[in-house]
Structure 1
């Protein structure tokens, strides 16, 4: 079981802070640092800085959206990051959601499954050093190949997804799947979708990876750790469109998901947080004292079919709280 780090999605004081977190993760024995890309610092520049200032820890995007860059550019970028990092890159791709794609990038959020599939196809061709002749529903490309040498080894391409069809797509066309906002029972359901996709694509499951991003907060003040994590979940379910709300509803928490969304939309964030009882918090996250957090983390790491668990942090956690959590959950 790999133990990774999902670097903070919230703004940090500077790129140097993210580099220092990555160096700290490396020194503690974590396997990989994943960097999200929303509307803050871009993933490519930041990961380049991290690659230059670390030696062994893997790097990855989780996730890079498939709308704001062309598939060919994603391929070029992956080849370059693989070179800069001396072979430590793994790529996470996905559609993100309409709030970000339309509201920030100004691009129509259309056909997310098809965009993801065609992007993966094209990126694989680019990274293989092939002349890209592609006749898709969305992209039609011809006549070009990567001008520099293709990377060796070729980095794996994981797909992000919450729903059954997107997870099946990850299994069929990707080298792995990134899971988040899921209970253990919900994760097992989606693993069935992933494996069904792998069967449809005649994939070798032993060569694919499932990575779970798990919200974690381990503090001596266990109550504060749980408050921060509860606020994090409420924000995603209530404030980030319908994807996380629907994912939670799909796992048997429909009434709670809609209550969180309604309270958050109405501006009562405390009520939205209160709708997440202790049982649900523990079903979605590992939060509390260091001992409680380690115990809960282990229960997710033991799920058959999960290859890596990423320590993710509450969006409101400060660098000191992030470091405390990193230390508490460091690999043995």
Structure 2
């Protein structure tokens, strides 16, 4: 049986205002809280606070980029979160994208598969409290030891889109984190993972009956994300090349408005859960039936605020 989770932080909200959000989510039956890290807050700070404010929910990062922190700094951040919430931490790491790594963080987006694999291997050693002296393929660490390793080791999951990263998730990690896909896509992707590996999927959710408002907002979001090269290739692999070709062509020509207009309604409906709260709950259950262990709702504020969405969907858990 899968579980339902929540993505924080909410947009336009102070981190200190999240105390009531976290505690209400726990009351409603959200069993896990996951952070994101793009261009707002970092992944760890919201979870450290959530760990202080909650008693039982698991905490996870989806995701921490493998390139944007040094290995030792990343290990220390994980250890700090584990100290706040022992036994309740899932660390999601991934290569991220060339936009975030190169354009925003002044790092080279080179050998993303190897870098992510090396970070996972390093963390396995460092979080155990071992002294690390090793030359990895993409970096070297000499003489590092965590002063306070976690008493309970965190789960380590890898953000995976296609075969190679999914294979790494099976071989090196405890499972995979998926993003921007439908329940049918989950069934397709599941074939590339060992059956005993955990799947966490971020699912974009908007419990609103205003279909036009949802589709309009979602098309802008889809165009922005699915033109990032790694996501474009992911959706070609999933079989959406023909459906999204006009959107990609217009984006490449610089016509952003027309690119958004060319996102098909059926693609929106496949990738974004919307409708009344019961319909949204049923669609989340479709993800779980398809093989997702944790369905992480990321609320989209299209006609409904994120706190309102939290409450509306959560009420279906306790109904």
Matches within 5 A, 1:56-71: 56-71=56-71
Matches within 5 A, 1:166-315: 166-195=165-194, 205-206=195-196, 208-238=197-227, 241-264=228-251, 268-303=255-290, 305-314=291-300
Contact 1:36 1:63 in 2 (8 A): yes
What secondary structure is seen at the aligned counterpart in 1 of 2:40?
Answer: coil
Q: Distance in 1 between the 2:275 and 2:266 partners?
A: 13
What secondary structure is seen at the aligned counterpart in 1 of 2:218?
Answer: helix
What secondary structure is seen at the aligned counterpart in 1 of 2:192?
Answer: helix
Q: Distance in 2 between the 1:327 and 1:11 partners?
A: 16
Q: RMSD over aligned Cα, in angstroms?
A: 2.2
Deviation readout 1:177-216 (Å, 9 max, x if unpaired): 0001123333222222222xxxxxxxxx54x310111111
1:48 shift after superposition: 1.7
CA 296–44 in structure 1, closer or farther in 2 if over 3 Å, else same: closer
Contact 2:32 2:59 in 1 (8 A): yes
CA 325–269 in structure 1, closer or farther in 2 if over 3 Å, else same: farther
Contact 1:215 1:229 in 2 (8 A): no
The two structures have a TM-score, normalised by structure 1, of: 0.87
Match of 1:55 in 2: 55
Q: Distance in 2 between the 1:97 and 1:280 partners?
A: 22
Contact 1:165 1:193 in 2 (8 A): no
Q: Distance in 2 between the 1:143 and 1:153 partners?
A: 23
Q: Distance in 2 between the 1:52 and 1:87 partners?
A: 14
CA 223–324 in structure 1, closer or farther in 2 if over 3 Å, else same: farther
What secondary structure is seen at the aligned counterpart in 2 of 1:128?
Answer: coil
Q: Distance in 2 between the 1:313 and 1:269 partners?
A: 24
Matched, 1:85 2:71: no
Q: Distance in 2 between the 1:35 and 1:211 partners?
A: 13
Q: Distance in 1 between the 2:30 and 2:306 partners?
A: 14
Deviates more, 1:213-222 or 1:97-106: 213-222
Deviation readout 1:26-82 (Å, 9 max, x if unpaired): 221101111111122112222222222222222111100011112222112111111
Contact 2:72 2:144 in 1 (8 A): no
Contact 1:4 1:31 in 2 (8 A): yes
1:145 shift after superposition: 1.8
Contact 1:30 1:57 in 2 (8 A): yes
CA 12–101 in structure 1, closer or farther in 2 if over 3 Å, else same: same
1:310 shift after superposition: 0.8
Alignment length (residue pairs): 315
1:161 shift after superposition: 1.7
Structure 1: 5+ residue stretches without partners: 196-204
Deviation readout 1:200-240 (Å, 9 max, x if unpaired): xxxxx54x3101111110024344234333332222113xx
1:116 shift after superposition: 0.5
Q: Distance in 2 between the 1:187 and 1:220 partners?
A: 25
Deviation readout 1:237-283 (Å, 9 max, x if unpaired): 13xx2122221121111133232233345565554344333322222
Structure 2: 5+ residue stretches without partners: none
Q: Distance in 2 between the 1:328 and 1:32 partners?
A: 17
Contact 2:247 2:262 in 1 (8 A): yes
The two structures have a TM-score, normalised by structure 2, of: 0.90
